[in-house]
Amino acid sequence: MNYTFIALVENKPGVLNRVASLFRRRNFNIESLAVGRTENPEVSRMTVVVDCPNGDMDAHKIEANLYKLVNVIDVQDVTRQPSVTRDLALIKIKVGPEKRAEVNGLAEIFRAHIVDVAFDSVIVEITGTEDKIEGMIELLRPLGIVEMVRTGQVAMTRGLTDGVRRVQGVTGNRYEDVSEMAEMAP
């Protein structure tokens, strides 16, 4: 089963490499990984979707291992949390003028947009959950997809609730605390 984690990490060079290397080293299978800035310039946010064949046991392993990375500030599992997840895809379809209307119709149903029109192709932009995007791709496929790119999922819990934090003793470090994190005397 796929689990979705949100990790807050220090915005420093090489941190993405550390996370990716960890997943490879510990044999975790990444389904999707998206990284971006947050409202705090010192913090980046990763949404990682990982296949966890052993369920919560694997999720515990992933969280605990992420915390071993010195630059990882917080890890939440939002898999079963009410949350908004979004993926964005750009899909290029080989269609001439005669079939554009068909694409347009599909796009409307999925609330997607045509963002580029050329003589022999169009680019459709769609945002939504995995399922929705998969659904649209299936319908577009017969028309001739020539190129596709997806950002990977990003996620955010609804309301002010957090995800699950399994790792004992590690208290979740909320976003806003990070910049004024107590300095630790070694």
Q: Given candidates 23, 67, 110, 175, which one binds other proteins under the rule CB under 8 A? A: 67
In degrees, rounded to 5, the angle at the alpha carbon of residue 62 between the alpha carbons of residues 59 and 63 is 85
**Distance separating the N- and C-terminal Cα atoms of the chain:** 41
Task: Write the binding mask 156 to 185 for other proteins: x where contact by CB under 8 A, - elsewhere.
Answer: -----------xxxx--x----x--x-xxx
In degrees, rounded to 5, the angle at the alpha carbon of residue 158 between the alpha carbons of residues 154 and 162 is 85
Q: Given candidates 71, 104, 151, 157, which one binds other proteins under the rule CB under 8 A? A: 71
Residue 37 vs 68, nearer CB to other proteins: 68
Q: Is residue 10 involved in binding other proteins (CB under 8 A)?
A: yes
Q: Is residue 72 involved in binding other proteins (CB under 8 A)?
A: yes
Looking at 66-74, 85-93, 120-128, 134-142, which segment touches other proteins (CB under 8 A)?
A: 66-74
Q: Is residue 41 involved in binding other proteins (CB under 8 A)?
A: no
Give min distance, CB of 4 to other proteins, in A. 20
DSSP-assigned beta bridge partners for residue 100:
none
User: H or E stretch including 87?
Assistant: strand 83-93
Note the Cα 182 to chain centre separation in Å: 30
Q: Is residue 17 involved in binding other proteins (CB under 8 A)?
A: yes
DSSP letter at 28 equals -
Q: Is residue 39 involved in binding other proteins (CB under 8 A)?
A: no
Among residues 110, 130, 109, the alpha carbon closest in space to that of 49 is found at 130
Alpha carbon dihedral 54, 59, 62, 66, in 10-degree steps, equals: 180
Total binding residues for other proteins by CB under 8 A?
30
Q: Which residues bind other proteins (CB under 8 A)?
A: 9-10, 14, 17-18, 21, 25, 57, 60-61, 64-65, 67-73, 167-170, 173, 178, 181, 183-186
